Amino acid sequence: MHKKPRGAVAWVAVALVALAAAAVGRSAEAPAPCCFINDQFRGVCRVVPAADETCDSILAYLNNPNSIGKAYCDRTTIRGGWVRTGCGHEATRATPTTSPGGAR
């Protein structure tokens, strides 16, 4: 019988497991959120893009008057007038003093 190089096989197995774990860790990281504002929307809309989305594609959706089907910004139906803004604490803005049933 031939001796099998167990040390080399074990090393390769450990390396493969480590690479797989690193790949899983990267895919588990959430993408950076995108933030948008609109004069007709109360507050800041914060969206975490899905794997096939970008902040630009989300903004294009929000500004397309024919877009339907996504649940961005509390399921708003406001189309047009959206602009990107920072997502830090500076992204918050004063809530307008409108009636509780104000536009969303």
Residues 50-72: tens digit of each pLDDT: 999 999 999 999 999 999 999 99
Does residue 2 register a pLDDT over 80? Answer: no
The whole model's pTM is what?
0.60
Domain edges within the chain: 34-91
Dump pLDDT digits (tens) for 74-102.
999 999 999 999 998 655 554 333 333 44
Note the pLDDT of residue 94. Answer: 42
d(CA 62, CA 84): 11
Do 84 and 63 form a contact (C-beta atoms < 8 A)? Answer: no
Q: Of 61, 63, 80, 85, which is closest to residue 71 (Cα–Cα)?
A: 61
- Cα 45 to chain centroid distance, Å, stands at 12
